[in-house]
Amino acid sequence: MNTENYCIAGRLRMLARVMTGRYNDAFTQEGVTFAQAGLLMRIFAQPGIRQATLSKQLQIEKSAMSRDVQLLQKNGWLTDNLRNGLFLTEEGTLLAKRCHKIWKALNQQVWEEIGPDTVAGLSAFSDKILITNTQ
């Protein structure tokens, strides 16, 4: 492979769009995007997490995080208390659980399609990039 003609960033962006589209399609039935489902599942796992902390954990721009949080609130799935952090409503909790089932099934399917060696390589690559990015 010629390093002069292979753009790693371009390839990663293309793969991210393809995979995000696939995951978005899976969550259409619940009326949320993959990003919104991810937020619901993360808040379910970490009730009371602050928006800024969540933004940092997920490497999401604060403005994008704010838009998704506002939409989740508007739909009645999320409460936001500046002192106590983010919490799911009863309806939001049920949605997060349904989203987790969808995610788990799709993630298993993708895992089987790409195989354990690819997953291990992706994991090693992301660990290296994320460690380098946080130093």
Three-state SS annotation for the chain: CCCCCCCHHHHHHHHHHHHHHHHHHHHHHHCCCHHHHHHHHHHHHCCCCCHHHHHHHHCCCHHHHHHHHHHHHHCCCEEEECCCEEEECHHHHHHHHHHHHHHHHHHHHHHHHHHHHHHHHHHHHHHHHHHHHHC
Residue-by-residue pLDDT tens, the chain, 135 positions: 677 788 989 999 999 999 999 999 999 999 999 999 999 999 999 999 999 899 988 889 989 988 999 999 999 999 876 678 999 999 999 999 999 999 999 999 999 999 999 999 999 998 888 887 655
> What would you report as the CA-atom Rg of the chain, rounded to the nearest whole angstrom?
17
The topology under which CATH files domain 8-133 is Arc Repressor Mutant, subunit A (1.10.10)
Q: What is the pTM of this model?
A: 0.86
Contacts of 98 (CB under 8 A, 6+ apart): 30
